[in-house]
Chain A
């Protein structure tokens, strides 16, 4: 062996150093993987705060995350509608606003024009609403130059910094408006520097500083896209907030699916684990096949079952469990019904029941309890851990489920669950490049499952190692 000629302790130190270095490198690699796997989600969550998440180049320096803008947004919200959180534009509003320009030497200094434009909010579902425009009620007052200071630009061009101030007022009475858009257009050559609130975007080659909302309040500013998700996207007929309806549907669907799964899986699992009967093997084979056959093979008939009831092919109707004409399509009941078959859940319950010693049931048997009493009073209360794990996994499955809701819940918009609703977001807003709204909706819809995951991690991760150790 090598290394025999070393002074005592040298080789040991060398090996210790190697261990430390290896640990350091492994942590570094894990950090890199964590950034890789969490990066897209975190980046999307951050970008969902931006006015336009498609702005190029992508950037994580976001005006919405700067404390200076938070303070300004809160003050503007207070001036606009006495609402520091969500802002608005109410009668009696008196909003002081400032904007600064850098004007290179040789360029004529001109007072910019200030305008409250008639701009429709967003596109698609929001655009069909009849809305009031702030332009009809707002008045721009006292537009004047405040100061001039000689200065140099970053590229050391000599020039002057010119600041202007004005007030936006809402005289008389009228409705309280959600938004106060604002456009400030300067002369050619004047470069936008800063303003009371950072501009949402620069238009017309940087001449127009455009603000989506000049009195937003701190949440109305930072979480602008999130507020839009709730406010702008409404059902055209009932004006109900679609996102709220979808969230409600998702929770309702998850609740019923959990209840149905727990009951059916624990009953079937009990029978398969504890009772001896003919046909047991056949059921196992069927269940194995059921897990292998693609959904797309089954959905053709299952769709028709929900539409027409059972066995209505060729005019021959053996039993129709519900009425004709749409039947259980576009209903959460139908969705729960068609997704209730869950062979995996039956297996989990069966395995858990097998791990409970038979002795605990024997006392009940001596008392003369029947199978149902033994299941309901003795075994089921002991199965709380398994039922808990199953509840969490079923919730995740139901919340994320895409295929069945996509097939069954097509109209009206208010019947959809969140994943399908997000898809109609994409169809309406993706086409016009309004990704702020889509990302905000996506991030919000991911939150419940993420919370559940971080609280009950071990159930999710145990499922994985269980799968890995099975063969």
Chain B
């Protein structure tokens, strides 16, 4: 082995700008963050070494505990819901049809729009007299009609499937042609029943939910580590809404590689849609699921923008995350900055991220062996 490859000088000259940035803004920054976490520092005076005091203080700090709970709840719930929904939606859309490109682009729009624009729009939708409460109220008022429609559609579908099977056709429970007929008939039927006065809107329902300016948690009466602040739930809905399309498109790309013949063979063996989803779809996209889970967990653990944009629209404790906790201790407005404390919080966030990545590596490796 040569002591020095011929390209080494040239290579490091090419890498010089990138490496200097990496050294200053990553290596030096990481080392300094760890150093600060063992000091008492206010951004202006010289840091003084205090050992592990900051770390011990973290676990008796109410804001940190709220941030830790919020971050963990946020990351796990959002990841579970958005991964599942993205996969289900991708399965539904996994068809080779004309014009699918247009829809894909449309689904992707929330993901290319900036977090500030989306968050401002959702802040507006979540106002007390905003569109979300209006939507909930409308659905609650129309509940009898919607329920009638669903029951009618299910009954019609069951009757049709039973008839087709009796005539010997291989009709599934959600047989598409029958479903189209059921839906059309159910719409007509519901309209008729409403016109005749058998079902009516409920006029006395009012939804006046305070989403933002509240310290309420759901479910009511749950233990501290399981109670989800309502404003945080609002951010969750927004996050799920913006992230699903990205993951759905990742899943779609993977699903397009699963041969059709697998599903056809399963259908001949009598597997229904749910069984096909369970036995074929989920195993086929496992590698993408690992990727999606990791990206989602890392992204949600580091959620910051939405909290900063919500600002005083919601109580700090109800929305604070670990990422925002670090910022909040570093720039606490009128108080003295607690850089050491902030750094300790940041290191704990980095460790949490590291744990997620390590678990993912372990799972991927065991999957590869199995």
Contacts and interface: CB of A to CB of B under 8 A. Distances in A.
A429 B92 CA distance: 42
A438 B124 contact: yes
A34 B103 contact: yes
Contacts of B109: 37-38, 41, 450, 453
B33 to A, nearest CB: 5
Contacts of B253: 464-465, 468-469
A121 to B, nearest CB: 21
Given A427-B311, A446-B113, A29 B92 contact: yes
Contacts of B59: none
A435 B130 CA distance: 11
Interface string B154-188: 00000000000000111000011111100000000
Nearest to A57: B134
Contacts, number: 323
A154 interface: no
A255 interface: no
Contact of A14 (B36, B124, B169, B349): B169
B201 interface: no
A247 interface: no
A371 B10 contact: yes
A314 B129 contact: no
Nearest to A11: B169
A220 interface: no
Contact of B8 (A277, A346, A407): A277
Interface residues of A, number: 113
B105 A5 contact: no
Contacts of A20: 177
Interface stretch (B12-20, B72-80, B189-197, B221-229): B12-20
Contacts of A430: 123, 313
Given A464-B253, A465-B253, A300 B342 contact: yes
Nearest to B32: A301
A263 B17 CA distance: 9
Contact of B121 (A41, A419, A468): A41
Interface in B309-350: 309, 311-313, 322-323, 326-327, 330, 339, 342-343, 345-347, 349-350
Interface string B116-142: 111011111101011100100000000
Contacts of B359: none
B97 A26 contact: yes
Contacts of B5: 276-278
Interface in B290-317: 290-291, 295, 298, 301-302, 304-305, 308-309, 311-313
Given A277-B5, A286-B22, A298-B33, A34 B168 contact: no
A23 B114 CA distance: 34
B46 interface: yes
B93 interface: yes
Contact of A313 (B11, B32, B118, B178): B32
A396 B170 CA distance: 50
B24 interface: yes
Given A296-B349, A464-B250, A468-B249, A315 B21 contact: no
Select the residue from B29, B104, B175, B287 with max chain A CB neighbours within 10 A.
B29
Nearest to B116: A419
Interface string A286-302: 11011011111111111
Interface string A303-337: 11100001001110000000000000000000000
A461 B105 contact: yes
A268 B125 CA distance: 45
A426 interface: yes
A21 B180 contact: yes
A270 interface: yes
B302 A294 contact: yes
A17 interface: yes
Contact of A422 (B93, B117, B251): B117
A340 interface: yes
A403 B304 contact: yes
Nearest to B23: A286
A464 B288 CA distance: 12
Given A37-B245, A298-B25, A402 B170 contact: no
A340 B24 CA distance: 11
A57 B206 CA distance: 12
B89 interface: yes
B256 to A, nearest CB: 9
Contacts of A344: none
B112 A453 contact: yes
B241 A37 contact: yes
Contacts of B89: 33
A277 B180 contact: no
B249 A471 contact: no
Contacts of B32: 300-301, 304, 313
B246 interface: yes
B100 interface: yes
Interface string A431-466: 000010011001101100110011001001100110
B179 A21 contact: yes
A135 interface: no
B369 interface: no
B47 A2 contact: no
12 contacts: A6-B168, A23-B95, A38-B109, A41-B113, A56-B134, A278-B5, A296-B323, A301-B28, A399-B114, A402-B305, A423-B311, A430-B313
Given A14-B169, A275-B14, A375-B14, 13 more contacts: A5-B168, A18-B175, A22-B95, A290-B26, A297-B347, A371-B7, A402-B309, A426-B311, A435-B124, A445-B114, A457-B105, A465-B250, A468-B288
